[in-house]
Amino acid sequence: MNISLEHKRHTLAHLLAAAVVEQYPHAKLTLGPAIDTGFYYDVDFSAGDTPGEEDLKGIQKSMKKLMNKWTEFTHEEVSVEQARQEFSGNQFKLELIEEIAAKGEVITLYTCGGFTDLCRGGHCENPKEEIASDAFKLDKIAGAYWRGDEKNPMLTRIYGLAFDTKDELAAYEKQLEEAKKRDHRKLGKELGLFSFSDLVGPGLPLWSPKGTILRQEVDAFVQQLRKEKGYQTVTIPHLAKKALYECSGHWQKYSEDLFKVRAKNDDESEEYVLKPMNCPHHTQIYDSEQRSYKELPIRYADTTMVYRAEQSGELSGLTRVLSITQDDAHVFCRESQLRTEIESIWDIVDTFYSAFGFTLKVRLSFHDPADVEKYLGEASIWNETEGLMETIAKDRQVDYFIGIGEASFYAPKIDFMAQDSIGRTHQVATIQLDRLLPERFDLSCINEQGEKERVVMIHAAIAGSLERFIAVLIEHTGGNFPFRFAPVQIAIIPVAEVHNAYASAIYEQLSKAGFRAEIDISNESMGKKIRAAKKGRLPYFIVVGDTDIETHSVTLESRDTGESKSLSIEALLAKLTLENT
Amino acid sequence: MNISLEHKRHTLAHLLAAAVVEQYPHAKLTLGPAIDTGFYYDVDFSAGDTPGEEDLKGIQKSMKKLMNKWTEFTHEEVSVEQARQEFSGNQFKLELIEEIAAKGEVITLYTCGGFTDLCRGGHCENPKEEIASDAFKLDKIAGAYWRGDEKNPMLTRIYGLAFDTKDELAAYEKQLEEAKKRDHRKLGKELGLFSFSDLVGPGLPLWSPKGTILRQEVDAFVQQLRKEKGYQTVTIPHLAKKALYECSGHWQKYSEDLFKVRAKNDDESEEYVLKPMNCPHHTQIYDSEQRSYKELPIRYADTTMVYRAEQSGELSGLTRVLSITQDDAHVFCRESQLRTEIESIWDIVDTFYSAFGFTLKVRLSFHDPADVEKYLGEASIWNETEGLMETIAKDRQVDYFIGIGEASFYAPKIDFMAQDSIGRTHQVATIQLDRLLPERFDLSCINEQGEKERVVMIHAAIAGSLERFIAVLIEHTGGNFPFRFAPVQIAIIPVAEVHNAYASAIYEQLSKAGFRAEIDISNESMGKKIRAAKKGRLPYFIVVGDTDIETHSVTLESRDTGESKSLSIEALLAKLTLENT
C-alpha cells in the first residue's frame, strides 16, 4: 500500500480508539496498527461492557462525528515518568512504555482532536481533509490475545476497512462477498471433493474420488508439460534418517517444524524425520551413480507429500495443512545450462497458469544484504545468482519486482503470484536456484577433462502445493472447472424412460472415448436432473428426447455459455476431444 | 513339508550335533530344529576352536560315517535333577531345562548311536535305513544370537540342506544358484532401477526414473483392471491421529510396530501415527456422507505407502522395507453383494498374475478356533465368512488349501501364492473379508426401508506390496520384463553416422506413438551398442543400415526369441501397439 493510504489507515485506528473511549470509558487501549485492507485496534473491555458487532454502526457514527474536529496532529516527546503517568492504570500501555524505555528509544505521544495516544507517528497531516468519510467502515469484531500469545489476556479486536475512495471500498467489499460465496471449504463440500475427519485430524484432508480426479488431472497437466521438456519421474520414501537433514541443513534451521518419527520409544539412535522437502532425497538418487557431463541436465520430477508441523489452531481448509502434496522437481545441471533450464521452467509456468486463466506477477525473491547471517553461502554467489535471474526476467520482458529478504535460506527464488478472477493474488509456483545443496551433498559430474565438476540445482514446483492450488482454483473458478479438469465432464439426461437406451448408448460411447460421463436414469423429474447437473458445475449436459433419436444427434448445453445446440455424435466427440487437450 | 521329511531333518540336526561334539569336544550344544529346506544347529564354540565353512565337508563326512550306527532312537523321561546332571556345564541346555520344569512339562532325552540330546521327539525310526546319505548336505555357517536376542551370546549356526532324494537336493541347489544369479538386489543395481543411501537409511529404497516407470506400469495395469470393475481412486494423507487407530484396534494390537510421529517433543496430546494400513482412512471417506444402498458397492482404490517399524537388521533389498507401497483397495457393500465383489477381485488377480506368467496357488487363511482370544469378533461371524470363501473357491474349481491360524486378527483372507519361473512360491495378493471394522467405525447405508444397515468391507491388494512384487518380478523374469512393463522398450542403433537421420526419424515416430525408445548415436562400435541393449534386457532393438533405408523398413531383433526380422514401420508400430496392451 502507498504511504499516504497507510497514514490514513493508521489515523483511522487512532480515531477508532477515540470513539471507543468516548462510549466505553472503562476500555483500556492496547495496540492499533494499519493493515492490508484497513486497520484494527485491540481493546481490553474487561472492566465493563464489551461492544458486539451490532454496536459497530454506533462507533462508526461517532468516528465520523469526531473527525470533523480532527484537523491537525501534534506530538511531544515525553519522559518515561510522564508516559507512565499518562497511561497509569493501563498495564498494556505501561508494558509498551517499559519496552521502549529499555531499548533507550524516545517516547512520543500523538494528539489529534483532543485524543492522545502512545505512538511512533505516521499519520495524515489533516485527517478531516484527507480521509473520505465514505471510504472507511467498521467491519467486524474478533478475539485476539494480547501480543498473540495464548497465555495472555484475550482482548477485543475491532476491524475496519479503509481505502482512498468510496468506490475502492465498495470494490473490496464486493470481492469479499464474492470470495465468501466461492469459499473453497464450502464449495469443496458442496461438490464432494474432500472432507475432514476428527479421527484422522485437522489439516489432513481426505480426497473423494471426484477430488482425486481433479488432483490427478491438474498433476497430469504439469507432468505432460514437463515430459516435453525432458523431465523424468522418480519415487522416494516419505521418511529418512535425521542424518539426511543434518547434511542438508534443514535439521539445524527448522527442526522445530519437522515431524520426528520413532518406532520404539526408547530407541534414540533410530530417529527418522517425515520429509519436509524432497530435495535431499533427490540428491541421493542423483548421487547413486557417478554422472558424466553427457547425462546432464538430469531432471527429476515427483508429485509427493511433504510434512510441516503447524499448530492445530493454524490449520484451515486446504490452505494450511499438515501434509502438503508438492508437484516438485529438481534439475541437476552445469553452470552453462542454468539459463536454458530456468527459461524452460518459466515456459511451463506460463503455459500452466494461462490454461486456467490466471494472470501472473513475478517476484524476484532475493536475500537481504543487511541480514546476511540468515543465509547459507557466500555473498558473491548470491549476487551472481540473483543477477542471472534478473537478466532472464528482463529478457523475457515480464513485469517483475524484487522482494528483498524473500529468498529461502539456501537460495534466491523466482516467485510467481497468480491473480484470480476476483482480483486477489496468490503466491503459486517457484523457481529456486541452488548452489548450496550441491556443496553440502558433494554433487558433481565428470567433465570433458575427466575432472569432477560441481553441479548446480534448480528447485521448481509448478502448481506448488496441490492442496493450496486446488483451493485457489476452486475460488478462482467458483467450482466451474475447465472441461479437462472437471471431475464429471458431462451428464446425459433422458427425457423419459423410452429414451434410456439411446442415452445409454451415448454414455457408452463417451466413456469409451475416455470422457468422464454420467447418466441419470433416476425417477426424478427432468427439471430436477438438470438442476443437479448445474449444481454439480458440470461443463456440459445432454438432454435426450425424441428428436435426438430421430436425427441421430444430441442436444448439448454448455455451462459456460448457457447455449444449447444440436450436433451429431461424431461432432460431439470431436468437439470434446479438442477441449480435453 | 510332510511329517516324514520333517522327522528326517530333525534327525539330521541330532546327527550334526553328534558329529560336532566328536570333532569339537569343547562345543556346547544349544538348539537344533528342522527348517523349510533342511535343518540347523546353534553351537557355542567359545571355549575353543570354531569351525569355518572350509570345515563343513569334514563334519559332513563324520555325519555319514556316524549314520551307519544310527539304527534306532530310544528315549527316557528324566527328573529335573537328572537332566541338570546330564547337561551340567552347558548353561544353554540348563536354561531350557529350567523352563520346561517351570511349565511342569515332562523332560525327555533322546538317544541314537550313543548320542543323547534334550528333545521333545519327532525323529526317524531307523535313520540309517530312512535317510538317503546323498540327499543331505551341510550348506553354510552363520552367526546367531542365543534365542535371537542381541543381548545374548553369539552362537555359530551350521545349516544343512536335506530332502527325500538326491534329485530333490540337486533341484533345490540349482534353484538356489539360479536365484543367486537373479537376485533382485544385484539385478536392480545392474538395471539401474533403485538404490539405497546411507543418509536416507536402510529399508528406504530410492527409485530411479527407470524403476519408477516399472512401478508405474505395474500399477497402471492394476488400475486398468480395477477401473473396468468400477473402482474409483481416492487420496489420503500418510498420517493420522492416534485416535484413528484406537478406534480401528490397530493401536492396541500393534502399537510396537507403528511409527509414532511428533512435532513438538513436549506435546503428548498431539500424537500422530504414520499409517500402517489404509483401511481406517478409507472408512472415513466412506463415512464423510450418509450413504444410500443405491450407491453401493463403493470401491476405493489407492496406491500409497504404509509404514511398519522393522528392526534395521531385518531390512533387506526390496523384500523387507520400512515404507511399503500398497496397491490397496476397499469395497464397502451389502451382505448380498459380497460374493460378486469377491469374484470380481479374484478375476482381477487371475488376469494380473497370468499376464506375468505366474501360476497361482490359493490359501484360504482361516482363524484358529483353538486360539479364539487372538481374534476380534464372534465365532459365528468368522464361521459364516469362512464358509462363503470356501464356497466361492469350490465353485471356481481352483486348487486351494486351508491355512488354519493364518487369518489376520480382524478377518479371514484369501491369500494367493505365485509360483515363479524357478519354482519358488511367493505370497502375493490377498482378499480379506471384514465385518469388524464396519462395526468399530459404525459404517452403514440407508436401505430400502429407510433404516440404517451395517455394511461389509473387503480389503483387496492385487500386486500387494509393490516393492515386494517388483523384487519377485525381477527374479521371476531375470530382468527380462514383458514389453509393456520394460522401462526402456526398444533401442535404435544406427550402423554408421550416415544412418543417424533415418534412425532419428524412427525414434521420433516410436516416441510419438508413446513407446519408450532410446537411440544410441554414441561413437561406440555397433557390437558394443548391441551388447549394451542386451545387457539392459531391452525387449527389442533395431539396427539401422543401408538396406533399411532403401526399403523404408526396419530390422527388429527380439530379446525373447533372439530372431531378427525386417518389417515396415507401419507393421512395427502395429506389432508394438498390440504388445503394449
Q: Which residues of B touch A305 (CB under 8 A)?
A: 237-238
Question: Nearest CB to B247: which of A199, A201, A305?
Answer: A199
- Tell me the three state secondary structure of residue A254: helix
Q: Residue B375, Cα to own-chain centre: how many angstroms?
A: 24
Q: Residue A118 in contact with residue A85, Cβ under 8 Å?
A: no
Q: Which residues of B touch A288 (CB under 8 A)?
A: 195, 197, 206, 208
| Cβ-defined contact of B204 to A240 (cutoff 8 Å) | yes
pLDDT number for residue B266: 58
- Is the model's pLDDT at B57 over the cut of 80? yes
B258 touches chain A (CB under 8 A): yes
pLDDT (tens digit per residue) in A527-543: 898 898 899 999 999 99
End-to-end CA distance of chain B: 40
| Cβ-defined contact of B201 to A264 (cutoff 8 Å) | no
Could you give the C-alpha distances from A290 to A285, A437, B213, in angstroms and in order?
A: 11, 17, 21
- Tell me the three state secondary structure of residue A207: strand
| Cβ-defined contact of A211 to B236 (cutoff 8 Å) | no
| Residue B459 annotated as catalytic | yes
- Tell me the three state secondary structure of residue A523: coil
- Mean of the pLDDT values across residues B142-170? 93
Per-residue b or e along A298-332, where b marks 16 or more CB atoms closer than 10 Å to that residue's CB? bbbbbbbbbbbbbeeeebebbebbbbbbbbbbbbb
Smallest CA–CA distance, residue A427 to chain B, in Å, is: 23
What's the CA gap between B525 and B507, in Å, rounded? 20
A381 touches chain B (CB under 8 A): no
What's the CA gap between A102 and A80, in Å, rounded? 10
Q: Which residues of A are catalytic?
A: 279, 308, 326, 328, 330, 413, 459
Cell triple for residue A167? 468506490
- Nearest chain B Cα to A261, which residue? B261
pLDDT number for residue B270: 65
Q: Which residues of A touch B204 (CB under 8 A)?
A: 237, 239-240
- Mean of the pLDDT values across residues A266-292? 88
ipTM of the complex: 0.84
Q: Which residues of A touch B238 (CB under 8 A)?
A: 238, 274, 305, 307, 323
Between A258-272, A310-324, B122-136, B137-151, the lowest mean confidence (pLDDT) is in A258-272
Q: Residue B205 in contact with residue B320, Cβ under 8 Å?
A: no
What's the CA gap between B169 and B444, in Å, rounded? 55
- Is the model's pLDDT at A384 over the cut of 90? no
| Cβ-defined contact of B197 to A307 (cutoff 8 Å) | no
Q: Which residues of A touch B269 (CB under 8 A)?
A: none
Q: Residue A362 in contact with residue A398, Cβ under 8 Å?
A: yes
Q: Residue B309 in contact with residue B257, Cβ under 8 Å?
A: yes
Closest CA to A458 of A436, A442, A427, A440: A436
B151 touches chain A (CB under 8 A): no
Query: What secondary structure, in 3-state letters, does B427-465 show?
Result: EEEEEEEECCHHHHCCCEEECCCCCEEECEEEEEECCCE
| Residue B330 annotated as catalytic | yes
pLDDT number for residue A314: 66
- Nearest chain A Cα to B267, which residue? A311
| Cβ-defined contact of A263 to B265 (cutoff 8 Å) | no
| Cβ-defined contact of A235 to B264 (cutoff 8 Å) | no
Percent over 70 (pLDDT), chain A:
98
- Mean of the pLDDT values across residues A6-20? 96
Q: How many other β-carbons are positioned within 10 Å of the β-carbon of residue A268?
A: 8
What's the CA gap between A475 and A177, in Å, rounded? 12
B336 touches chain A (CB under 8 A): no
| Cβ-defined contact of B240 to A264 (cutoff 8 Å) | no
Q: Residue A363 in contact with residue A415, Cβ under 8 Å?
A: yes
Query: Looking only at Cα atoms, what is the longest distance across chain B?
Result: 95
Residue of B198, B206, B524 best to disrupt the A interface, most CBs of A under 10 A: B206
Query: Which residues are paired to B431 by β-bridges?
Result: B414, B460
Q: How many other β-carbons are positioned within 10 Å of the β-carbon of residue B366?
A: 20
Query: Looking only at Cα atoms, what is the longest distance across chain A?
Result: 95
Percent over 70 (pLDDT), chain B:
98
Q: Which residues of B touch A190 (CB under 8 A)?
A: none
Cis omega before residue A25 (within 30°)?
no
| Residue B279 annotated as catalytic | yes
What's the CA gap between B290 and B280, in Å, rounded? 17
Q: Which residues of B touch A272 (CB under 8 A)?
A: 201, 259
- Nearest chain B Cα to A196, which residue? B288
Q: Which residues of A touch B256 (CB under 8 A)?
A: 264
What's the CA gap between A239 and A172, in Å, rounded? 44
- Mean of the pLDDT values across residues A545-558? 92
| Residue B264 annotated as catalytic | no
- Nearest chain B Cα to A230, which residue? B209
- Nearest chain A Cα to B512, which residue? A228
Cis omega before residue A297 (within 30°)?
yes
- Is the model's pLDDT at B314 over the cut of 70? no
Helices H, strands E: what count in chain A? Answer: 19, 28
pLDDT number for residue B296: 95
- Tell me the three state secondary structure of residue B523: coil
A574 touches chain B (CB under 8 A): no
| Cβ-defined contact of A257 to B263 (cutoff 8 Å) | yes
The CA dihedral of B50, B54, B57, B59, to the nearest 10 degrees, is: 0
pLDDT number for residue A254: 82
Q: Which residues of B touch A322 (CB under 8 A)?
A: 237, 239
- Is the model's pLDDT at B311 over the cut of 70? no
Q: Which residues of B touch A247 (CB under 8 A)?
A: 199
- Nearest chain A Cα to B208, which residue? A234
- Which helix (H) or strand (E) covers residue A251, if one does? helix A250-254
- Mean of the pLDDT values across residues B205-223? 97
- Nearest chain A Cα to B261, which residue? A261
Long-range CB contacts for residues B92-100, cutoff 8 Å, separation at least 24: B92/B28, B92/B29, B92/B30, B92/B31, B92/B44, B92/B146, B93/B28, B93/B29, B93/B30, B93/B118, B96/B31
CB < 8 Å from B in window 261-290 of A? 261-265, 270, 272, 274, 280-281, 284-285, 287-289
Smallest CA–CA distance, residue A363 to chain B, in Å, is: 31
What's the CA gap between A524 and A526, in Å, rounded? 6
Q: Which residues of A touch B508 (CB under 8 A)?
A: none
**C-alpha angle B340/B343/B348, rounded to 5°?**
125
Percent over 90 (pLDDT), chain A:
78
Question: Nearest CB to B281: which of A206, A212, A238?
Answer: A206
Residue of B197, B242, B247, B524 best to disrupt the A interface, most CBs of A under 10 A: B197
Dump the DSSP string for B285-314. Answer: HHTTS--BGGGPSEEEEEEEEEE----GGG
pLDDT number for residue A232: 97
Between A9-13, A401-405, B38-42, B406-410, the lowest mean confidence (pLDDT) is in B406-410
Question: Nearest CB to A237: which of B199, B280, B305?
Answer: B305
* Residue whose grid cell is 430400502: B448
pLDDT (tens digit per residue) in A20-49: 999 999 999 999 999 989 999 999 999 999
What's the CA gap between B289 and B444, in Å, rounded? 10
Residue of A228, A236, A300 best to disrupt the B interface, most CBs of B under 10 A: A236
Cell triple for residue B453? 444397515
Residue B267 pLDDT level (bands cut at 50, 70, 90) = low
Residue A269 pLDDT level (bands cut at 50, 70, 90) = low
What's the CA gap between A349 and A367, in Å, rounded? 23
Closest CA to A14 of A115, A107, A96, A146: A115
Question: Nearest CB to A284: which of B197, B212, B216?
Answer: B197
| Cβ-defined contact of B288 to A257 (cutoff 8 Å) | no
pLDDT (tens digit per residue) in A125-181: 999 999 999 999 999 999 999 998 888 999 999 999 999 999 999 999 998 888 888
B521 touches chain A (CB under 8 A): no
Q: Residue B568 in contact with residue B553, Cβ under 8 Å?
A: yes
On average, the pLDDT of chain A sits at: 92
Q: Number of CB pairs < 8 Å for A and B?
A: 180
What's the CA gap between B398 and B255, in Å, rounded? 37
Q: Which residues of A touch B274 (CB under 8 A)?
A: 238-239, 261, 274
Q: At how many degrees (to 10) do helices A379-395 and A338-355 cross?
A: 50
pLDDT (tens digit per residue) in B495-550: 988 999 999 999 999 999 999 999 998 888 888 988 988 899 999 999 999 999 99
Between A432-446, A503-517, B372-386, the lowest mean confidence (pLDDT) is in B372-386
| Cβ-defined contact of B260 to A263 (cutoff 8 Å) | yes
| Cβ-defined contact of B237 to A192 (cutoff 8 Å) | no
Could you give the C-alpha distances from B11 to B135, B166, B490, B496, in angstroms and in order?
A: 13, 17, 54, 67
pLDDT (tens digit per residue) in A217-245: 999 999 999 999 999 999 999 999 999 99
- Mean of the pLDDT values across residues A373-387? 85
Q: Residue B570, Cα to own-chain centre: how many angstroms?
A: 42
What's the CA gap between B428 and B462, in Å, rounded? 7
Residue with more model confidence, B36 or B41: B41
Cell triple for residue A335? 553452470
| Cβ-defined contact of A195 to B284 (cutoff 8 Å) | yes
Residue of A190, A195, A235 best to disrupt the B interface, most CBs of B under 10 A: A235
pLDDT (tens digit per residue) in B439-495: 999 999 999 999 999 999 999 999 999 999 999 999 999 999 999 999 999 999 999
Dump the DSSP string for B178-237. Answer: HHHHT-HHHHHHHTT-EE--TTT-TT--EE-HHHHHHHHHHHHHHHHHHHHTT-EE-B--
Query: What secondary structure, in 3-state letters, does A331-357 show?
Result: EEECHHHHHHHHHHHHHHHHHHHHHCC
Residue B313 pLDDT level (bands cut at 50, 70, 90) = low
